[in-house]
Structure formats: structure tokens, C-alpha cells
Amino acid sequence: MQEAGTWRELLAQIITNNKEKQRLIDELKVTSVTLMRWVNGESEPRPQNLRLLMNALPLYRDQLKKLLQDEKGFTRHLHPAMDEDIDNTIPSDFYARVLVGRASTSENLRFWSTCHLILQQAIGQLDPDHRGMAIWIVRCMPPSGPYNKVRSLRESVGVGTPPWTGNLEQNAMFLGAESLSGAAVTRCQPEIINDLDEDHYLTPALHAEFEKSSAIYPILYAGKVSGVLLVSSAEPNYFLSSARTDLIKLYAELVALAFEPEDFYRSDQIALNVMPSHNEQKIYFARFRQLVAEVMLNAARNREPINNFKADLIVWQRLEEELLKLPVQ
């Protein structure tokens, strides 16, 4: 592809592929005529459409951003987090939905269903334009080891918008002292990084693919911590707005309702280890479902049947033990 001199030229090159052109029409909910008017300079995309366009083209995001910055009048749309009028409150009727759902759901499903309900609401409010966001509830693993401490965290329930997948749980892994989430749990304080590429010297080394900025709030109850609410954006500077971070804090407080009192730990019960990289962990997690099935089968044979939640936890504990034995890179 010939190097484009403007964002319009780049868009023109991209939509020469008819399949890609139709995908953009579908995702942006515009017509072919509108796309061509943008390309020909006959009209300007609205700020929301401009951000949707960048989100729909993750491979060209940086190039588009640079070309837009070079064009007068578009720079103010690239970092809207500083000047957006963001509603920093959770709708009052949603609190009622959470309480009713928590009261009416069976014990085995209560944690997952409550978390999923909250995360769907949160991502809709925090990323209404689908500019690229992942939200995880990261929870402490039960204390273990010779000192009976919390040695790692696990990604538990997660949702996303492109370039992340909608359901993140199939990619769940361990986090430890090397992660931003680990720092937030250890300190019981929020961790907000607005440019992970520029500010990497201030933070632990590990961050996720596509992640350019992040906000992590501890999930607290009675001075104890059960994990964190981890919000990652595909855009730098997404959390400059205090209204947005205030909203994330409220969701972290609401998520605490999904946990039982025994899921929260004092600071002296936490001693996080460094966990292997996600690439190393993937080798072990490739057999996760098989291990869960084996645990449930063995329990049934012993006439002590267990549910999926308990079987999952047993496998997580086994994998944690295996991974903690690996040499730290």
C-alpha cells in the first residue's frame, strides 16, 4: 500500500477492499455515500464517528492518529477525555437491579451473575462509543503455601469492546507482583496510568496487549481487599478525566457486593509472588477445561460431586502451584 499523505487518502486506500468497505459501513452505521464524501473532503465526520473509525481500524490507529493530528481542526477530537461532559454517577435504578439480582440468584451463580451485570453496565457507560476497552474483575487467590498467604491474583470476570473480544474470560490468567493490579492490591490504593508507553518506568513491567492506559481500583470491605477492578483503554490519556475515574471508583465499590466477607483479606495476609508471563501461562491454561472435567469426573466417582465453580477453583489452585515453581525470568 502506497504511503498516504492524509487520513482521507489512507481511508480511500483501505476501502478499495470491498469487504473492508462494507465492514466499516456496518460498524460505523453510515452509508457508502458518506464514506466517499469523507474521502473526497465534501464533509467532515462527527467526533463520535471519527473515534468509531479509529476503533474500527486498530491496525491503522497510530497512522490515522498522526495524520489527523497533522490536519487542522481534528486534534481536539483525539483526546476528548479532558473536556467531555461525563456523567460520574451510576443510575440509581441500576443499584436496585444489582440488589434484586444478588438476592434472587443461587449461591453457585451469584458471584458471576452479579459481576457480569455490573460489568455490562460499566462498559456501556465508560466506553459508549466503543473506542476500545477491557474491564476485568481480578480477585485474590485463596491463601496457600508454607506461610498461608495470598500469593497471586486471577482474572475472573471480564468484558471488552474491540480490539478486545466481548467475553474475556476464556483468556483469563494469573497476575502477581509484576502487574499494576498487584501493586494496587498490595498498596490498597488506585493505580492510574495514562500512557503506558511513556510512563513505563513508573510502573511494573507487565501490561496487556492493546492496553495504552489503565485505571485500577481496589475492591474493599471493612479495611480488607478482595482484588481490583481493572479498566484498560486502547487509547492513551483516557483516564485524565476525574469524572471518569470517579465513576470507576463507584463501580469498584459496587462490585464488592458480589464477594462474600471471607473473600476479603488483610494486608498482612497478602504476599504476592511474581507470576510467569502470559505467553508462558498459556501453555498451562491450554488444558484448563480438560483438567476441570477430570476433577468433576473424579469427584463423581468418589460420590462427592462438585459444581463447576468449585472444580474451576481446584484447577486454578493446581495451576498456581505449578506456575509458582517455575524460575522467575
Q: For residue 207, what pLDDT is reported?
A: 65
**What is the predicted pLDDT for the residue at 82?**
41
Return the pLDDT at 241: 84
d(CA 45, CA 59): 20
Beta strands in the chain (DSSP E): 133-140, 153-160, 174-175, 191-193, 213-221, 224-233
pLDDT of amino acid 99? 95
Q: Which three cell numbers stand for residue 146?
A: 508454607
Low-confidence ranges of the chain (pLDDT < 70): 1-2, 72-86, 198-207, 329
pLDDT at 206 (0 to 100): 60
- Joined together, the cell numbers standing for residue 250 give 463507584
Write down the mean pLDDT value for the chain.
Answer: 88
Peptide bond into 163 cis (omega under 30): yes
Note the pLDDT of residue 80: 47
Q: What is the pLDDT of residue 27?
A: 82
State if pTM tops 0.95: no
Residue with grid cell 440509581, as numbered in its chain = 92
Q: Give me the pLDDT at residue 199, please.
A: 56
User: What is the grid cell recorded at 247?
Assistant: 465513576
Q: What is the pLDDT of residue 324?
A: 95
